[in-house]
Structure 1
Amino acid sequence: MELADFIDHTNLKPTATVSDIQKLCDEAIKHHFYAVCVNGCNVAVAKKAIKESPVKLAAVIGFPLGAMSTKAKIFEAMDCIDHGADEIDMVINIGWLKSGMFDAVREEIKVIKEAIGETVLKVIIETCYLTDAEKEEACSLAKDARADFVKTSTGFGTGGATYDDVVLMKGIVGDELKIKASGGVKDQATAKKYIELGVSRIGTSSGPDLIK
């Protein structure tokens, strides 16, 4: 596989304009990236922009804090799918996890996955706010809830992906779930290292730079 096949070309900035999203999609088509990843309000714009290309469309929900109600996250996910999203990247309720409310975290992931069915669900655990034990617990909960991916970060926290976190996550999910590294992946050498560690997808706003 080519490096481009791993890239979710991303623009989740609150200031992203329609032309910014169009540019994101044009770059994804040009460079044959796997997907674009956008906020919910930009799903319809992105879907139109990628047209009949093979580029997939991922949308974030509960982003970037994860602190919305489960009902709101489900509504957001279904709205994104209705407007053309192929994949959903959800942020877990970090406060619940840190409170030891593991059943609630698992159930939220589970009901969102049940609601979206065959649509790919990536679970963002926001590693920068978690202890290693909490990261392991979050991965186990995502696996139990039958998510498709665990994802390191939103890119809006205090830190992004790290090699150590990916190794830790891989140790918990093995080959049962895929892993997406996101946040701070800005050069080709870093991206290739993540792939060597077992990452299946890389979320980055620097896609064109990664494949130069």
Structure 2
Amino acid sequence: MNQYIDHTLLKPEATREQIEKLCEEAKKYNFKSVCLNPSWVSYAKELLKDSGVLVCTVIGFPLGATSTQSKALETEVALKDGADEFDMVINIGALKENAEQANTLVQSDIRAVVDAANGKTVKVIFETCLLSNEEIQRACELSIKAGAHFVKTSTGFSTAGANLEVVKLMLDTVGSRALVKASGGVRSLEDAKIYIDMGVKRLGTSSGVAIMEGQETKGGY
């Protein structure tokens, strides 16, 4: 279970002390990664040295509405700081336009991050609560064409996170061509087991410790 969890702290008010606690918890439970904002990457890399825990950061977060160039540069800087994985937010407005030019923009936006990541894992965040089923399926296809490794449900900053219907749709759409990360609202061991049994390969959650201890949290990411 622990190796499915990206132990997450993305709140803008996160302090150095909270980042230290996040990394200590990640080491204690041997989580797959910590997921945090880009400004904390180099510090987390130092704290997690020789632990085996990866450092994951977010790109174009949480809105996805920054330019392709800025997403690529943000990725390059985070890579230099030691990031191992990159969770980027798509250009949601462009996806919803569903015109050839807009779809090309979404795909090139993802591709720019994939290229800047230089072979490191890239997960593409859709913000599924804002999308129709058709838009989710198209986002999956564009992500695969752009070379992304994962498709991911949510930022945790919009109106809703992962749900079973959406995750099943994403799993069915990508098949063996990409992996799926469920995020937002995974707050208990039961939640985690359900998603893993479905075929999800990564869970984004701030409730990693509660999950490992068989407890449930009522709020948070």
**TM-score category by the smaller chain?**
over 0.9
Give the C-alpha shift of residue 117 in structure 1: 2.0
Partner of 1:8: 6
- Mark the runs of 5 or more structure 1 residues left unpaired by the alignment: none
Alignment match, 2:97: 99
CA distance in 1, matches of 2:115, 2:30: 30
Structure 1, residues 41-91: CA drift from partner, whole Å, max 9, x if none? 111111111121000010001000000000000010111111010000000
Match of 1:38 among 31, 36, 39: 36
Matches within 5 A, 1:18-33: 18-33=16-31
RMSD between aligned alpha carbons?
0.7
Deviation at 1:174, TM superposition (A): 0.5
| Counterpart residue number, 1:68 | 66
**Map of 2:130 onto structure 1:** 129
Alignment partner, residue 177 of structure 2 = 176
- Aligned residue number for residue 81 of structure 1: 79
Please give the per-residue CA displacement for 1:146-183, whole angstroms capped at 9, x wherever unaligned: 10000000000100001111100011111110110000
The amino acid of 1:27's aligned partner reads E
Counterpart secondary structure, 1:202: strand
Shift of 1:116: 1.5
Question: TM-score normalised to the size of structure 2?
Answer: 0.94
Which secondary structure does the structure 2 equivalent of 1:156 belong to?
A: coil
Match of 1:55 in 2: 53
**Which amino acid in structure 2 is aligned with residue 97 of structure 1?**
L
Distance 1:123 1:161 in 2: 14
TM-score by length of 1: 0.98
Alignment correspondent of 2:196: 195
Distance 1:9 1:131 in 2: 28
% same residue: 48
1:115 deviates by 2.0
Gap regions ≥5 residues in structure 2: 214-221
Amino acid at match of 1:42: W
Q: What's the secondary structure of 1:88's corresponding residue?
A: strand
Which residue does the alignment assign to 2:121?
120
Which residue number in structure 2 is paired with residue 205 of structure 1? 206
Matches of 1:47 and 1:146, distance apart in 2: 26
**How many Å apart are 1:107 and its aligned residue?**
1.2
Q: Which runs of 4+ in 1 moved over 3 A?
A: none
Cα distance between partner residues in 2 of 1:158 and 1:88: 23
